[in-house]
Amino acid sequence: MLIFDQFNRGERPLRWMAAVVGGGLLLLLLGLLRVQILGHRRFEQSLHTQSFQSVRVPALRGRILDRNGRELVGNAPRYRLDVYLETLSRDFGREYGQLRREIIAARGGTNATPAGIWTRILSKLRRESPRVLIRPEENQLLWRQARYNVVSNVVAKVAAKVGLPLTLTESELHRHWANSRALPLAVLRRLTPQQVALLTEQSWSIHGLSVELQAVRHYPHGSLAAHALGYLVRADDFADEEGDSFDYRLRDYRGAAGLEAAFDADLRGTPGSRSILVNSDGYRVGETLTSAPVPGRNLITTLDLEVQKAAESALSTVSGEERGAVVVLDVRNGDVLAMASAPAFDPGEWIDGVSRARWTNYYDVPKRTPLINRATDGAYSPGSTFKIVTALAALENGLDPDRVQIVEPNPAKPGKGLFQRGNIRIEDTAPPGPYDFRRAFIRSSNAYFIHFGLEAGYDRLLSTAHRFHFGEQTRIQLRPTEERSGWMPSPAEARAERWPLGRLANFSIGQEVTVTPLQLAVMVSAVANGGTVHYPRLVDRLESGDPLSDEVAHAVRPGQVRGLLGARPEHLARIRAAMRDDVLDPEGTGTTARVTDYTVCGKTGTAEIKGNGIKDKVTWFSSFAPFESPRYAVVVMVESGASGGRTCGPVARRIYEHLRTRDAGNGRPLALAP
């Protein structure tokens, strides 16, 4: 009761203090009454006009690695500058008011809808100009112009800070406003570290900005192995897979080719989601992460980064604008150590989209076709490399390799041979004279192999070709299904079509049918390893992108056998010896592939392309090494080359030189043991 005693004694300062405190409490009570009782309907309505909207958040895409764990494809940080429109809402209102006043003033009137009670009272006391009516459609245009003026002003300030000529079109802003108002507007998608530092230091003077860190797909080696790795394109069709569960979807990508497409679901991971609270104006009020994205799995390939570099470097030495392919296989288990196709492309340029000029001047040039993987999708006549198949069929048909066959001279071309039977007349690139199996193979005599191919017949020739699985899908893990795998008819089809002798003669020397470089590499591997046809393997395993995860890696078993040739060992040994001599013997066509202290075995080939006014060549070199203990198969194909020996042989030599040096340097084979 002491405090009341002080009041009774007449302490005036204390009474004043009590009055102030009492007045403050009274104001608080009135404010509480206004908020909770008088204004409850307004706040209740505001709560009802707010809504939660979901945003799809893409997961970090898994990496693609070579067989030794070196990164072929990864993710790199990228800084993006965003403008949050909700922070500019008051600026929009002020700009709108200014534009409205300017229009009214320009029309010589006053505001048709005075804003407040004092304006209405004062308007009664003075004589005012005629009111100007602003139609609803004009009002919408004013708001649109106001928003653009404010945001473009922000963009102009950013441009001055970073020293770049940034622009924002009205259509871009309007599209974002109509479709993604609750999300930030990206002003600059690729900020350098210097620009980030400038904006971080000086952005306090620019309202509504935020620097966001993103992870973008990164191809550290540019165009290296581009066709095997593939590329990404913008994906706006995930709604087809996920239904309508998201209101917004942040930018995401889908694999469009190569491993990026074949293993897209594994690499992409599982997207997360954010919940955004949006008010009645469509602005973001707040957000929460409802589920975190799960990173994609890492893909470990059988490719060897250094061998891939060597293969592409060797292929680039072809004069002119090279168009060709290289495949390097481990003959013991079918592992793909390198796969190159030229011309190539940089997968990184597809992340932000290829310009129309770039597409027209590079990608859409008919003869160039850089997006085609010539190693797996390019179907070509194999030329004389197919004589390996003809040789095996002839040997199994009873050919005595020591038997001498006389090749007749070509009267039209002195020094060249000729095969002639009835109306069949096929020129030979080898000179006329006596040929046994070995000499016919290393000189690549057309007449010799046509003669014994006809003796073997199309049943034996075609069945031998199908034991190598020509004309069938290789099932390489670059896509769910292969679109093209060359063309090789079955014996029944040839019988139904009643193949004439002329067609069978051309077939014996690698015309009439088509193969892919990968299929030819599988064939050479089977000859080199003693008759086992493997499925080519490009993927070793899939494993979690989280190093702390206990998820078990999904491995692709190496050395999967597709079939056995069933050929007699001495026949395969005879062919291998002939391939060795084709490189070592001075008479051979493959001497340009010779490597010191490393026995390369090969077969050259040149196929002619005629028709529709086109005359061109496809040149080949199919090989394996070393002869004593076969380990690698190397197939080189070049379009518009001079010949297999002159064009493709030197490319293979450079690759084998790298393999020899590499193996000698680390004392172990490149390929993993099966």
pTM, full prediction: 0.84
Q: Check whether 673 has a pLDDT greater than 50.
A: no
Within 10 angstroms of residue 475's Cβ, the number of other Cβ atoms is 15
Min mean pLDDT across 10-14, 183-187, 470-474 is at: 10-14
Domains of the chain from N-terminus onward: 53-87+155-299 (3.90.1310.10), 305-344+375-541+565-666 (3.40.710.10)
> Cβ(531)–Cβ(392) under 8 Å?
no
Give percent above pLDDT 90 in the chain: 53
Q: Could you tell me the two tokens for 410?
A: 């070509």
Higher pLDDT, 665 or 220: 220
Q: Is 404 helix (H, G, I), strand (E, B) or coil?
A: coil
pLDDT at res. 615: 81
pLDDT on residue 141: 86
pLDDT tens figures, 611-625:
666 788 999 999 999
> Which of 61-70, 156-165, 415-424 is least confident?
156-165
**For the residues 497-514, what does the mean pLDDT come to?**
93
The reported pLDDT for the residue numbered 54 is 79
**Residue 237's pLDDT is what?**
56
Say what the pLDDT of residue 661 is: 93
* Better-predicted residue by pLDDT, 173 or 243: 173
Give residue 560's pLDDT band: very low, low, confident or very high (50, 70, 90).
very high
The pLDDT value recorded for residue 324 is 96
Under 8 Å between Cβ of 250 and 60: no
Which of 100-109, 205-214, 315-324, 398-407 reaches the highest mean pLDDT? 398-407
Per-residue b or e along 31-70, where b marks 16 or more CB atoms closer than 10 Å to that residue's CB: eeeeeeeeeeeeeeeeeeeeeebbbbbbbebbbbbbbeee
User: Exposed, middle or buried by CB within 10 Å (0-12, 13-18, 19+), for 474?
Assistant: buried
pLDDT of residue 562: 96
pLDDT tens by residue, 12-60: 676 677 777 877 788 888 777 766 665 555 555 554 455 677 778 889 9
User: What is the pLDDT at residue 4?
Assistant: 53
Residue 450 has pLDDT above 90, yes or no: yes
Average pLDDT over residues 100-109: 77
**Residue with token string 């030189």:** 657
- CA-based torsion, 422, 426, 427, 432: positive or negative: negative
Counting DSSP H helices and E strands in the chain, the numbers are 22, 26
118-127, 345-354, 473-482, 581-590 — which one is most confidently predicted on average? 581-590
Give the model's pLDDT for residue 23.
Answer: 79
Give the residues across from 639 on adjacent strands.
618
Query: Any idea what DSSP says for residue 593?
Result: G
Contacts of 223 (CB under 8 A, 6+ apart): 344, 345, 346, 347
Q: With 50 as the cut, is the pLDDT of residue 671 above it?
A: no
Integer-rounded Cα radius of gyration of the chain:
38
| Pure H helices in 10-116 | 12-33, 40-49, 89-106
SS (H, E, C) 88-155: HHHHHHHHHHHHHHHHHHHCCCEECCCCCHHHHHHHHHCCCCCEECCCHHHHHHHHHHHHHHHHHHHH
Phi/psi of residue 568, nearest 5 degrees? -70, 135
Give the alpha-carbon dihedral of 578, 583, 584, 589, to 10 degrees.
90
Mean pLDDT of 384-406: 97
Rounded CA-CA distance 619/605 in Å is: 6
Considering only 119-133, 156-170, 416-430, 575-589, which range has the smallest mean pLDDT?
Answer: 119-133
Question: Residue 90's pLDDT band (boundaries 50, 70, 90)?
Answer: confident
Residue showing tokens 């007749």: 408
* H/E segment holding residue 181: none
Other beta carbons within 10 angstroms of residue 446's beta carbon come to 28
Among 70-79, 108-117, 523-532, which is the least confidently predicted range?
A: 108-117
pLDDT interval class at 168 (50, 70, 90): confident
Across 483-497, b (16+ Cβ under 10 Å) vs e yields: eebbebbebeebeee
Residue found under tokens 């009761």: 1
The whole-angstrom separation of Cα 228 and Cα 209 is 40
For residue range 226-242, what is the model confidence (pLDDT) as tens digits?
Answer: 999 999 998 865 555 55
Q: Per-residue pLDDT tens for 348-362?
A: 999 988 999 999 999
If you average pLDDT over residues 137-155, what whole number do you get? 85
Q: Which helix (H) or strand (E) holds 342?
A: strand 336-342
Residue 345: pLDDT over 90? yes
Burial of 287 (0-12, 13-18, 19+ CB in 10 A): middle
Q: Is the pLDDT of residue 140 over 60?
A: yes
* Torsion angle defined by CA atoms of residues 178, 180, 183 and 189, in that order, rounded to the nearest 10 degrees: -100
Q: Is the pLDDT of residue 518 over 80?
A: yes
Residue with tokens 């320009």: 106
Judge whether 641 and 592 are in contact, CB under 8 Å.
Answer: no
Looking at residue 35, what DSSP letter applies? Answer: I
Please provide the average confidence, as pLDDT, over all residues in the chain.
Answer: 86
pLDDT of residue 669: 47
For residue 672, the model assigns a pLDDT of 40
Higher pLDDT, 506 or 120: 506
203 vs 308, higher pLDDT: 308
Lowest-confidence range among 28-32, 72-76, 494-498?
Answer: 28-32
E-strand stretches of 166-249: 185-191, 209-218, 232-234, 248-249
pLDDT at residue 557 is higher than 80 = yes
Q: Which residue has the higher pLDDT, 578 or 138?
A: 578
pLDDT band at 523 (very low <50, low <70, confident <90, very high): very high
Q: Which of 152-156, 165-169, 401-405: highest mean pLDDT?
A: 401-405
Residues in Cβ contact with 303 at an 8 Å cutoff, skipping those fewer than 6 apart = 66, 67, 72, 225, 228, 336, 337, 338, 339, 538
Residue 80 Cα to chain centre, angstroms: 23
Please provide the size of the chain in residues.
674
What count of other Cβ atoms lies within 10 Å of the Cβ of residue 179? 9
Q: Is the pLDDT of residue 674 over 50?
A: no
Residue whose token pair is 């026949």: 571
Pairing of strands 324-330, 71-83: unpaired
pLDDT at residue number 358: 93
- The Cβ of residue 13 has, within 10 Å, a number of other Cβ atoms equal to 7
* CA–CA gap between residue 285 and residue 271 (Å, rounded): 23
